Structure 1
Amino acid sequence: MQRPLIAVLIASAFLTLNAQAADLIQVYQQALANDATYASARSSLAAGQERITQGRAGLLPNISASGTNLRNNGEFIPFNEGVLDVVNGQLVLPKRSDVDNHTNTYTVSLSQPLFNWSLWQSYQQSKLAQAVAEATFAQARQDLITRVAQAYFDVLTAQDNLTSTQAQKVATTEQLASAKRNFEVGTQTITDTHEAQAAYDLVVAQEFAAINDLDNKRTALQVIVGKAPGELAPLRTGVTIDPPSPAVVDPWVGSAEDQNFAVISAQLQLEIAKREIARNRGNHMPTLNLTAAAQHTNQTAYGANNNKAIGVTWTVPIFSGFAVTSQVRESIALEDKARNDLEATKRNASQTARQAFLGMTSGLAQVKALEAAEVSSKSSLDSNKLGYQVGVRINIDVLNAQKLLYSTQKDLSKARYDTIMNGLRLKSAAGTLKEEDLAPVNALLAH
């Protein structure tokens, strides 16, 4: 008799666990495993990590083996085939003979560059290219953090908008019913009823829009995490958001210009462009290689033969149709482009850091002001409801007070989300955003 009860309790426990809302860190972990953009960046990193091996290969020995196995079947025809000989009074044709020769040859050769300036520069470029891949992946990881957080808070914003709209709908419904009752008993005019009806119709339309917006925001989060998101943990009531540290913008801007991963990548690209100039100029220089070879030949007609050789080969370029000169000019122009790209990237990182810092500081002030406005709006609504009951306020006053309160609450929640996001963007612009930075944000949620 106790087994069914135990089964029910276990099932209830699992349902409770499944019904628990997911927090920001849990959603981020899902995105790490399922986000296609991040997976693409991870594959690009794996490909970029092969650059050094490929660049170093040009400086290492190149060993190869080759061979031939030929069988020749022929017939030897004397030079005087068309002349008849007379032997013992008889005509004799010239004698032919068959020729059968089997040749088997194999060669093992080695080539080791001793001096090749272009290959050396290619090797240096390969190390820089791998560093670019690593910086690009680090930027992709930061972007994933901000994308997940933005999508998460977009869903919460849409949920808050829907909740506020539905609460406003309930209040407007009550106000509409009150206006109709008062009109029926003759204490109010039909105008109050029409105003309440118009407000109700408007909030119903807003509810449909809020439902659609919430569905869109949840779909956007699903694209990142790879599956339909469940319930999300909301912000706790009355949370306090910490200001940026340091509290001045200059250190953040300096960090953005030096440590931002996009800036680091642009700096590496500039160095690669400089190496490209040297690599192309190396095509004017001589090259020197150590070569060695061992060859074995076996012929049935002539026997076996072994040959070994070792030495140095050199090449001096003399004229290539102005191709090398043109390539040098091209690489100089591309270096100038890379330098301008670096400057543009630095300015963009600096601007992003300033915008995020100002957005966070102004957001904190806005949150404080909206918290005070929320208190005032609640007091205003209570006063208007009381005045409406005693006849010193009309229906439209109550409706406007309700609308103001719900609008203030929506603005307050949005300001909090935007302030948190600007804090994450500020660290991302400065190149210091890490997964650990999600923990303080996650602590603000109601688990």
Structure 2
Amino acid sequence: MTVRRATCVFLALWSLSVQAETPRADSASALSPAPRKQGVRASEYAADLLQLYREARLEDPRVLAAHARAQSGRERQREALGELLPQVSASTVFSRATRDDDADRSSYDTERYSLTLSQHLYNKAAWESYQKFKSLARQGDSEAEEAQAEAAIDLAQRYFVALASDDELELVMAERRATQKNLDRVNALYERQMAVITDVLDLRARVDSLAADEVEARNQVRLSREELAEVIGRPVQERLSRIREDIELQAPRETLEVWIERAIAANPGLKAKEDALAAADAAIREGKGGHYPSLSLNLSALRSDAGYDNSLTSRYDNYTAGIAVQVPIYSGGSTSARVRALHSDRTSAEQELEAMRRQLLKETTSAYLTTQSSVDRIRATRNALESARKSTEAAEKGFRFGVVNAVDVLTNVQNEYKARRDLLKAQYDFITNLLVLNRWAGKLSGQTIESVNVWLARSDASRDAKRSAAR
């Protein structure tokens, strides 16, 4: 009978191990480039930062609106260019006239065809208008690039907030399990009158507090996923890829001066302000062009059989070539007033450029220094976690031997999980600040996101490792 039971237990354990291995194979195949199988829930897949970034580029309304404005600016530039090119028009008139006088009444048809070409030879206002819209088109392109970078930073921040929410829920649950385990142990000792009631009450209060924290953590998980869904345009139910355990996060090796030079040379926001200033200068020149004469060439061809007073004549052709000169003399002072207003607009654009330059220096310096300090912070929090883990193990051993009371064990457990939270937060802050640094330096692109995405695990191995460590 004993052999039979052992055999049954062995077969049951073997079948469970086979069933446990099957989802892992399915998960690995789901992460491969092969097409996904129908009927598998989306929550079984892992979404990484690069995947969500690509989706956000196609779905984020802020990015789409910025690109639409840039396209509008390019079309307005083309519209302004059209004012400088030849203007050709053609017209045709068919008419029927009836002439009635004392001697006779007659009706006849007339035809009139005309072709006209006009070309500016000198028109300062039209030329400067084209230069203005050309600068505005460049400004729109730079603003679209800036909007894309800003949206990428926002997505990364929401992504790591969602990861932090998941971490908080798992850590709260793990701390609650550990505290409950100690509470059960103290309850057993208390029943044997080997522990005091204050230890039982302290542990029970902590378990109840962690239960409330777990409810709040679950709510934060849902809220963080909704924030991601706002950017992506769909519910985000997949597991989020986490930071790998086998990598070492390193700060940029270039100096702060190098990053500032890059930012001044390539930041799209700064370029947009420079283009806005150039557009304001062109607008002033356009306004002053209202004081300049204009010169144009006019060519026309006419074929008609209608004479004076729409009378019927034999068909004739008329060709005309002329040079038109228009000299503005007085417009009531509106041209001068417009130029003065444009000077004020230029001053505003110049001050906005200076404000943007100062913000660029501040944000680049802040992101660089924070990134550098984050590496040391990660190293310090990792050492603190290791020390807290050893302290917890020592406190639990001391409690079993009666050297340490339950409150001391509770304090060590709290310190350990606080160190875990600090380490995860330090890692997320480092990556976020690194992306912010690249954003202000004008280097944030899909390639940058892809480089950061390498630090994220493509499977659930990191998630399982964190869960096992939390336990």
Asked if Structure 1 and Structure 2 have the same fold, meaning a TM-score greater than 0.5 normalized by the shorter chain, the answer is yes
Deviations 1:45-71 (A, max 9, x none): 322222332221111110111232222
Counterpart-to-counterpart distance in 2, 1:158 and 1:292: 74
- Find the counterpart in structure 1 of residue 347 from structure 2: 336
User: What SS does the aligned partner of 2:46 have?
Assistant: coil
1:109 to 103, 113, 116: 116
- Find the counterpart in structure 2 of residue 84 from structure 1: none
Q: Percent identity?
A: 28
Counterpart-to-counterpart distance in 1, 2:352 and 2:384: 46
1:385 to 392, 396, 408: 396
Counterpart-to-counterpart distance in 2, 1:262 and 1:305: 62
1:191 equivalent to 2:198? Answer: yes
Q: Which structure 1 residue ranges, 5 or more long, are not aligned? A: 1-8, 79-95
2:449 to 430, 438, 443: 438
Matches within 5 A, 1:265-276: 265-276=272-283
Give the structure-2-normalised TM-score.
0.84
Counterpart-to-counterpart distance in 2, 1:404 and 1:122: 66
Residue 252 of structure 1: CA displacement?
A: 1.6
- Find the counterpart in structure 1 of residue 213 from structure 2: 206
Residue 364 of structure 1: CA displacement?
A: 1.1
Decide which moves more: 336-345 or 305-314.
Answer: 305-314
1:233 equivalent to 2:244? Answer: no
The one-letter code of the counterpart of 2:113 is: Y
Residue 225 of structure 1: CA displacement?
A: 2.2
Deviations 1:269-320 (A, max 9, x none): 1111111111100100101110011122224733323222111011100000
Contact 2:67 2:141 in 1 (8 A): no
Counterpart-to-counterpart distance in 1, 2:422 and 2:293: 71
1:30 to 55, 58, 77: 55
The one-letter code of the counterpart of 1:35 is: D
- Find the counterpart in structure 2 of residue 159 from structure 1: 166
Decide which moves more: 123-132 or 279-288.
Answer: 123-132
Counterpart-to-counterpart distance in 2, 1:202 and 1:253: 48
Deviations 1:102-158 (A, max 9, x none): 332232111100110011111222221221122122222322332232222121111
1:98 equivalent to 2:98? Answer: no
Counterpart-to-counterpart distance in 1, 2:200 and 2:185: 9
Contact 1:145 1:435 in 2 (8 A): no
Counterpart-to-counterpart distance in 2, 1:379 and 1:278: 74
Counterpart-to-counterpart distance in 1, 2:247 and 2:160: 15
- Find the counterpart in structure 1 of residue 431 from structure 2: 420
Counterpart-to-counterpart distance in 1, 2:258 and 2:28: 49
User: What SS does the aligned partner of 2:456 have?
Assistant: coil
Residue 14 of structure 1: CA displacement?
A: 8.0
Larger CA Rg, structure 1 vs 2: 1
Counterpart-to-counterpart distance in 2, 1:241 and 1:331: 51
The one-letter code of the counterpart of 1:44 is: R
User: What SS does the aligned partner of 1:295 have?
Assistant: strand
Residue 231 of structure 1: CA displacement?
A: 1.1
- Find the counterpart in structure 2 of residue 60 from structure 1: 85
Decide which moves more: 34-43 or 107-116.
Answer: 34-43
- Find the counterpart in structure 2 of residue 118 from structure 1: 125
Counterpart-to-counterpart distance in 1, 2:375 and 2:297: 70
Counterpart-to-counterpart distance in 2, 1:206 and 1:239: 31
2:64 to 30, 39, 44: 39
Give the structure-1-normalised TM-score.
0.89
Residue 256 of structure 1: CA displacement?
A: 2.0
1:314 equivalent to 2:325? Answer: yes
Deviations 1:49-104 (A, max 9, x none): 2233222111111011123222233532x4xxxxxxxxxxxxxxxxx642424332
1:135 equivalent to 2:142? Answer: yes
User: What SS does the aligned partner of 1:49 have?
Assistant: helix
1:290 to 282, 285, 297: 297
- Find the counterpart in structure 2 of residue 370 from structure 1: 381
The one-letter code of the counterpart of 2:138 is: A
Decide which moves more: 294-303 or 348-357.
Answer: 294-303
User: What SS does the aligned partner of 1:244 have?
Assistant: coil
Decide which moves more: 141-150 or 204-213.
Answer: 141-150
Show structure 1 runs of 4+ deviating over 3 A: 12-16
The one-letter code of the counterpart of 1:252 is: W
Decide which moves more: 270-279 or 173-182.
Answer: 173-182
Contact 2:186 2:406 in 1 (8 A): yes
1:50 equivalent to 2:61? Answer: no
The one-letter code of the counterpart of 2:223 is: N
User: What SS does the aligned partner of 1:341 have?
Assistant: helix
Output the aligned Cα RMSD. 2.1
Decide which moves more: 337-346 or 59-68.
Answer: 59-68
Contact 1:286 1:316 in 2 (8 A): yes
Counterpart-to-counterpart distance in 2, 1:14 and 1:237: 20
Decide which moves more: 132-141 or 157-166.
Answer: 132-141
The one-letter code of the counterpart of 1:241 is: L
- Find the counterpart in structure 1 of residue 362 from structure 2: 351
How many residues end up aligned between the 2 structures? 420
Counterpart-to-counterpart distance in 2, 1:412 and 1:202: 23
Q: Which structure 2 residue ranges, 5 or more long, are not aligned? A: 1-21, 31-35, 37-43, 459-471
Contact 2:100 2:106 in 1 (8 A): yes
User: What SS does the aligned partner of 2:130 have?
Assistant: helix
Contact 1:255 1:430 in 2 (8 A): yes
Contact 1:256 1:346 in 2 (8 A): no
- Find the counterpart in structure 1 of residue 13 from structure 2: none
1:174 to 170, 181, 194: 181
- Find the counterpart in structure 1 of residue 412 from structure 2: 401
Residue 13 of structure 1: CA displacement?
A: 4.3
Contact 2:276 2:349 in 1 (8 A): yes
- Find the counterpart in structure 1 of residue 288 from structure 2: 281
User: What SS does the aligned partner of 2:175 have?
Assistant: helix
1:253 equivalent to 2:260? Answer: yes
Counterpart-to-counterpart distance in 2, 1:15 and 1:210: 29
Counterpart-to-counterpart distance in 2, 1:131 and 1:440: 28
